[in-house]
Amino acid sequence: MRLPEASSLRVLLLDAGGVLIKPSFARVAEALASHGVLVPAERLATAEPPAKRELDRDPAAVAGTDAERGWQYFNLVLAHAGVARSPATDAALDELKRGHARSNLWEDVPDGVRASLARFRAIGLRLAVVSNANGTVAALLERLELSPFFDAVLDSAVEGVEKPDPRLFLLALERLGAAPGEAVHVGDFYSVDVVGARAAGIRPVLLDEAGLYPDADCPRVRSLAELAAHFDPPAARAGISAKLPPAR
């Protein structure tokens, strides 16, 4: 399906985890190693896309809360990395949960994200984060020096509603003063991001980095950089600085 054109947009809504930031698999590997489970961080990262795809297909996971999905997700990553679940892996994940509550585990910014955000802003789009999270997203974006790109940050734990409930998307539009037809949402879970955005009347784009959704009934991109190149092709040819915009 065709990607929307930038000329039809005022607002770009972005998921946080999986789109702007990825889990620190170095931290995951370190926690596992402390419990005697040795697996390279690179293998965990490679196992993540098929693990997410499996989770996205699970009706029980879709019906559950984000917190429930989150830790089921890590067990699936381990399974796809060839690591059997055990008391040791459970202990490591419990340790990671406690650490995540203090310092968000999703802290690795993929290559191209900052440059893409700069390009979205350069063509006049207003940006908001719409994330199912644990109340730490605003502080995390500040720590990672991403917050200046955004006009609003909606964290489900703060707002009291989580995707795919359309109310979280509509809250974002209300804060940006935009209508659903003026917005696109980019997320990495079909059952959460695409379904929720459509329920709010917003056009969805699925970030499918490994090409695991060939039959999806929505536009897909492999990265934010691909979407930025579509929205801003002259900049794609000439190159653009990834300098942070001034704080708003």
What pLDDT, in 10s, does the model give residues 112-137? Answer: 999 999 999 999 999 999 999 989 99
Q: What is the mean pLDDT of residues 43-58?
A: 94
C-alpha distances in Å from residue 6, one per residue of 27, 126, 131, 189: 37, 12, 22, 23
How confident is the model at residue 137, as a pLDDT? 94
Asked if pLDDT for residue 58 goes beyond 90, the answer is no
Query: Which parts of the chain are beta strand (E)?
Result: 11-14, 22-23, 106-108, 126-131, 152-155, 183-187, 203-207, 220-221
Whether residue 223 sits in one domain with residue 113: yes
Whether residue 139 sits in one domain with residue 31: no
Asked if pLDDT for residue 26 goes beyond 60, the answer is yes
Distance CA(31)–CA(152), nearest Å, equals 33
Whether residue 228 sits in one domain with residue 184: yes
Whether residue 27 sits in one domain with residue 120: no
Whether residue 232 sits in one domain with residue 113: yes
How confident is the model at residue 100, as a pLDDT? 83
Asked if pLDDT for residue 47 goes beyond 60, the answer is yes
- Output b/e per residue, 41-51; b: 16+ Cβ within 10 A: bebbbebbbbb
Instruction: Determine the structural domain holding residue 91 and report its residue range.
Output: 23-105
pLDDT band at 240 (very low <50, low <70, confident <90, very high): very low
Whether residue 123 sits in one domain with residue 86: no
Query: What CATH number does the domain containing 134 carry?
Result: 3.40.50.1000
Query: What CATH number does the domain containing 44 carry?
Result: 1.10.150
How confident is the model at residue 243, as a pLDDT? 42
Share of the chain above pLDDT 90, in %: 81
Whether residue 205 sits in one domain with residue 113: yes
Whether residue 78 sits in one domain with residue 147: no
* Count of domains forming the chain: 2
Domain boundary among 83, 105, 127: 105
Residue 1 lies inside a defined structural domain of this protein: no
Q: What is the mean pLDDT of residues 79-104?
A: 91
pLDDT band at 65 (very low <50, low <70, confident <90, very high): low
